[in-house]
């Protein structure tokens, strides 16, 4: 079996990412407090659907819900780098970002696009938004 790596077998990688996202969600259900996912089921399902045409996004996205607020960070050319683990180029990142800008709202999520500011400022935006949503 070929390695499920995005540069070796994209569809296998996406299917593995879906499986891992489902497992992560199951594990997180036992935790207390906020749980943040950096990439998750919607990202993986959108990628799989894009690669294969399989209509999985709506089914998985409606059956496995996250918090209604989703924080998305746009590709940032000034800090974007490729390496052995991230081989796709900036244009691929832009295309994926564009797909996610459509995928989340299509499933009823409210997108909050984080500005291109420092980590502390982004964290403050996330925590403030979630505090307001909880009150």
Give me the pLDDT at residue 85, please.
Answer: 77
Q: Where are the domains of the chain?
A: 10-134
Q: How many CB atoms lie within 10 A of CB 126?
A: 16
Render pLDDT for 66-94 as a digit per residue (tens, 0 to 9): 989 999 999 988 888 888 877 788 898 89
- Is 42 within 8 Å of 55 (Cβ atoms)? no
What is the value of pTM for the model shown? 0.86
Tell me which residue has tokens 């499933």.
107
Give me the pLDDT at residue 79, please.
Answer: 84
Q: Which residues is 111 bridged to in the sheet?
A: 70
> Has residue 2 got a pLDDT over 60?
no
Give me the pLDDT at residue 55, please.
Answer: 93
In Å, how far from its chain's centre is CA 122?
17
| CA nearest to 39, candidates 89, 103, 83, 91 | 103
Render pLDDT for 5-55 as a digit per residue (tens, 0 to 9): 666 788 898 999 999 999 999 999 999 988 999 889 999 999 999 999 999
């Amino acid at each position: 079996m070929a390695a499920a790596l995005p540069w070796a077998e994209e569809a296998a990688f996406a299917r593995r990412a879906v499986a891992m996202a489902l497992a992560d969600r199951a594990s997180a259900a036992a935790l207390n407090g906020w749980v943040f996912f950096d990439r998750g089921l919607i990202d993986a399902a959108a990628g799989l659907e894009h690669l294969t045409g399989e209509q999985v996004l709506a089914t998985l996205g409606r059956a496995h819900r996250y918090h209604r607020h989703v924080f998305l960070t746009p590709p940032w050319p000034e800090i974007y780098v490729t390496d052995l683990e991230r081989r796709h180029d900036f244009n691929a990142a832009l295309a994926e970002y564009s797909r996610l800008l459509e995928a989340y709202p299509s499933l009823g999520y409210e997108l909050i696009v984080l500005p291109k500011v420092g980590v502390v400022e982004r964290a403050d935006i996330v925590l403030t938004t979630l505090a307001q949503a909880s009150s």
